[in-house]
Structure 1
Amino acid sequence: MNKKLGLAVAGAVLAFSASAANAGIIIPAGDWTVDIGGNVNTYYTNTKFSGDAFDGIGRKNSVSTGLLPSALGIGAKTRQNDLDIAFQFTFFVGANSESGFGTTGATPLNGGESRAGDGNSINIRQAYLTFGDASWGTIKAGRDLGLFGSDAILSDMTLLGVGVGAGGPGNSTLGRIGSGYVYADWIGQIQYASPNWNGFSFAVAAREGLRNQLAQIGDEEKTKLGVDGKVSYEWTGDVSGKVWAGFISQKHNNTLTGDYTSRGYDVGGKINIADFGLVGYYYDGKGLDLQTGQQLGGLQFLGGNKSDDKGGYVQGTYKLPGVGTKLGLSYGISKSDNSNGAAVNPGVDFENKSWIVGAYHPLTKSLNLVAEYAQQKVEADSLAGNIDGKAKTISLGAILFF
């Protein structure tokens, strides 16, 4: 597998201990080594909706990609003047031809119709350069997965599957974005990553400022650069694992909310003992999360709120000896309290929780068959009234790494 394909693909494989990590196409090109890799995945999903939050939506069947869109990554590396130099471009695309871009294009559940010439988009989520040396670290400049929340999504078993968020348009589902963690997202950034000191490392980045309203923004909007970072310790052996802690911060200013700062922190860990694996994760923040009262949630800052946000998830997996099938069960929840001076959805408290069970079978060293069941419940409580809804999804499919 292309080592420079990045966190979304290589990280997914490594986090889930899939055997496809040794795949890939290596091409010598003079002083450079070109590396090509990626994945293709497709799932049949059947989602049953109920409750006020999904009023008018019954059952939806779809054929689509999962949480990880299909991807083709092209990168190269070389050593020049005592520097390791590399670049990476990765192109992501979905199987679903229904209109919508990513998870934030059309209305999550009602947008678009399937048309051959309108509805599938190539999304270049990675485009960056790196330079550095093992003695002092690495500088990264360009677009890549953000640092805050990255270990949460890369440790999520549904990265090889669907999770929640099926039945809508776009290039991917949600996994447990919004019901266990805030999406790390693909961000323009300038990042420094330290060397690895016997398992200990850290990284920090200045990142593009994000809009903090869904509505039209006037000329008064001023975006500031954000900053995020994380520190981690990883170990190997009969009992292997990783622990990490991270942070994120960005200042906002507009006529609706005035000046305020979104911020958050997270802590997490995972441990593997023989064929058992366990993950635990927690985050807390202010002005951090967007919850809509429907499936969509966990998007950084877009709510434009001085909200109180928190959540987390726990996950257990077991690999069947001999067979190789990995069974997993996880539960997660995200809460957003908008009663503390919120300008958007004032006084509304959101709760988005889900539990997911999955089976991931390595048919070959490159091909995994996947079966999942996900049950999501969303609630929005306010003085004007309460709404809730459920989405129950069965998904069956396959993911191929190369």
Structure 2
Amino acid sequence: MNKKLGLAVAGAVLAFGASAANAGIIIPAGDWTVDIGGNVNTYYTNTRFSGDAFAGVARKNQVSTGLLPSALGIGAKTRQNDLDIAFQFTFFVGANGEEGFGTTGSAGPNYQSRAGGGNSINIRQAYLTFGDASWGTIKAGRDLGLFGSDAILSDMTLLGVGVGAGGPGNSTLGRIGSGYVYADWIGQIQYASPNWNGFSFAVAAREGLRNDGVLLTTATADDKTELGFDGKVSYEWAGDFSGKVWAGFITQKHNNSTTGDYRSRGYDLGGKINVADFGLVGYYYDGKGLDIQTGGQLGGLQFLGGNKSDDKGGYVQATYKLPQVGTKLGVSYGISKSDNSSSSIYNPGVDFENKSWIVGAYHPLTKSLNLVAEYAHQKVEASNTAAGNVDGKAKTISLGAILFF
């Protein structure tokens, strides 16, 4: 499988025993080595909705991609003037009609694909790297952000669907918004250290993100655009008792004439261990002005709440690989909370809670092809002392397959 694309799937592949090809299509080209790889996945999902948050929605049946869209990655690497040089482009696409997030929480209760609807290519990776094992690596371009990246790469639903099924678009949500904040694919200039016997760190300056993109129906002036910054430090070890621990941060100042000036910030802590056929993951995050929750399926998008909210959450996950059979069984529970003060510009005094239970089975039919079955039970609540409480449930059964090449 393509090495750079592997950053987006290797955590799930290694942690949960799902098979993937060991390498993509390797092509020597003079001083360069070209690597082509990717995945194709498709799932049938049946989602039943109930409660005030999903009023007017009873059931949605879909054929779509899961949390990880289908992808084709093209990269190459070489060694020149004592530097390791590489580049990567990866093109992602969905199986069903329409583009973008199509979850019920973001697009209305009856939003679904239409006749003649197409799908769009989403270029999530486009970057160059240069460096050396002695001093580290510089990355410049679009790639997965550092903050929260280990949380999503350790999520078993990366190879499946998770929550957020039931609408058009090229991705479901996995555990985004009900256990972690989405790391997102973002323009950045990053430095990654060498690996010192398992210890490493990385820091990045990132494209500044608007803090009002979802909740406003008309554009307002951003008085000044500020860069964001994130980073992480980690320690990883191998052996019969293998694992990894990490800690990260994110921060960005917002200057906006509607929401006012404030700084979003957050930190996270996580770890995972593997002993024989057992695996365990634990993750926690905390922040200010960090998350958006809508009271629907969609949540966990950076900064878009436009408020100085108090945000926190996390998830725990346990897996077991059946001996001889190879099937990985997993169960996880996660929750995300976002509390807004009475002086907030949007959703004043509203406290959001988004939690879910997910169970899954991931079977390697071949070294490249994996069969997947999941059940996700999501519950969302919006509490307001003045207006009362609103809640809803989304229960999803998903069946499908993912092929790596």
Normalised by the length of structure 1, the TM-score is 0.97
Task: Check whether the contact 1:204–1:227 (CA below 8 A) recurs between aligned residues.
Answer: yes
The SS at the match of 2:210 is coil
Q: Measured at CA, do residues 220 and 37 of structure 1 come closer, stay the same or move farther in structure 2, by a change above 3 Å?
A: closer
Task: Tell me the residue number matched to 1:238.
Answer: 240
Task: Check whether the contact 2:90–2:126 (CA below 8 A) recurs between aligned residues.
Answer: yes
Choose from 383, 395, 400 the match for 2:398: 395
Task: Check whether the contact 1:139–1:191 (CA below 8 A) recurs between aligned residues.
Answer: yes
Task: Tell me the residue number matched to 2:18.
Answer: 18
Matches within 5 A, 1:2-13: 2-13=2-13
**Considering only aligned residues, what root-mean-square deviation do their CA atoms show, in Å?**
1.4
Matches within 5 A, 1:153-232: 153-213=152-212, 214=214, 215=216, 216-232=218-234
Deviation at 1:6, TM superposition (A): 4.6
- CA distance, structure 2, for counterparts of residue 49 and residue 234 of structure 1: 41
Deviation at 1:2, TM superposition (A): 1.1
Choose from 294, 297, 300 the match for 2:296: 294
Deviations 1:348-400 (A, max 9, x none): 00000000000000000000000000000000001212100000000000000
Q: Gaps spanning 5+ residues in structure 1: where?
A: none
- CA distance, structure 1, for counterparts of residue 108 and residue 127 of structure 2: 30
Aligned length: 400
Task: Tell me the residue number matched to 1:125.
Answer: 124
Matched, 1:30 2:69: no
Q: Measured at CA, do residues 104 and 249 of structure 1 come closer, stay the same or move farther in structure 2, by a change above 3 Å?
A: farther
Q: Measured at CA, do residues 269 and 142 of structure 1 come closer, stay the same or move farther in structure 2, by a change above 3 Å?
A: same
Matches within 5 A, 1:21-100: 21-97=21-97, 99-100=98-99
Task: Tell me the residue number matched to 2:329.
Answer: 327
The SS at the match of 1:180 is coil
- CA distance, structure 2, for counterparts of residue 79 and residue 240 of structure 1: 32
Task: Tell me the residue number matched to 1:314.
Answer: 316
Task: Check whether the contact 1:47–1:60 (CA below 8 A) recurs between aligned residues.
Answer: yes
Task: Check whether the contact 2:41–2:403 (CA below 8 A) recurs between aligned residues.
Answer: yes
Q: Measured at CA, do residues 399 and 385 of structure 1 come closer, stay the same or move farther in structure 2, by a change above 3 Å?
A: same
Deviation at 1:340, TM superposition (A): 5.7
- CA distance, structure 1, for counterparts of residue 72 and residue 103 of structure 2: 22
Moved more, 271-280 or 16-25: 16-25
Moved more, 249-258 or 200-209: 249-258
Deviations 1:13-49 (A, max 9, x none): 2343433140310000000000000000000000000
Deviation at 1:339, TM superposition (A): 1.6
Task: Check whether the contact 1:15–1:154 (CA below 8 A) recurs between aligned residues.
Answer: no
- CA distance, structure 1, for counterparts of residue 103 and residue 287 of structure 2: 22
Task: Check whether the contact 1:70–1:94 (CA below 8 A) recurs between aligned residues.
Answer: yes
Task: Check whether the contact 1:23–1:366 (CA below 8 A) recurs between aligned residues.
Answer: no
Moved more, 316-325 or 381-390: 381-390
- CA distance, structure 2, for counterparts of residue 253 and residue 332 of structure 1: 32
Normalised by the length of structure 2, the TM-score is 0.96
Q: Measured at CA, do residues 104 and 354 of structure 1 come closer, stay the same or move farther in structure 2, by a change above 3 Å?
A: closer
Moved more, 162-171 or 5-14: 5-14
- CA distance, structure 1, for counterparts of residue 377 and residue 75 of structure 2: 38
Task: Tell me the residue number matched to 1:386.
Answer: 389
Matches within 5 A, 1:266-305: 266-305=268-307
Deviation at 1:331, TM superposition (A): 0.1
The SS at the match of 1:184 is coil
Deviations 1:303-343 (A, max 9, x none): 10100000000000000000000000000000000026321
- CA distance, structure 1, for counterparts of residue 359 and residue 120 of structure 2: 30
Residue 61 of structure 1 aligns to which amino acid in structure 2?
N
Task: Check whether the contact 2:56–2:109 (CA below 8 A) recurs between aligned residues.
Answer: no
Q: Gaps spanning 5+ residues in structure 2: where?
A: none
The SS at the match of 1:360 is strand
- CA distance, structure 2, for counterparts of residue 108 and residue 6 of structure 1: 34
Task: Tell me the residue number matched to 2:107.
Answer: 107
Residue 58 of structure 1 aligns to which amino acid in structure 2?
A
Residue 399 of structure 1 aligns to which amino acid in structure 2?
I
**Structure with more contact order per residue of length (Cα contacts < 8 Å, sep ≥ 6):** 2
Moved more, 21-30 or 137-146: 21-30
Deviations 1:273-293 (A, max 9, x none): 000000000000000000000
The SS at the match of 2:4 is helix
Residue 357 of structure 1 aligns to which amino acid in structure 2?
V
Q: Measured at CA, do residues 162 and 37 of structure 1 come closer, stay the same or move farther in structure 2, by a change above 3 Å?
A: same
Task: Check whether the contact 2:15–2:279 (CA below 8 A) recurs between aligned residues.
Answer: no
- CA distance, structure 2, for counterparts of residue 108 and residue 17 of structure 1: 37
- CA distance, structure 1, for counterparts of residue 172 and residue 260 of structure 2: 33
Deviations 1:39-68 (A, max 9, x none): 000000000000000000000000000000
The SS at the match of 1:203 is strand
Task: Tell me the residue number matched to 2:338.
Answer: 336
Residue 253 of structure 1 aligns to which amino acid in structure 2?
N
- CA distance, structure 1, for counterparts of residue 256 and residue 291 of structure 2: 18
Task: Check whether the contact 1:127–1:143 (CA below 8 A) recurs between aligned residues.
Answer: yes
- CA distance, structure 1, for counterparts of residue 341 and residue 221 of structure 2: 27
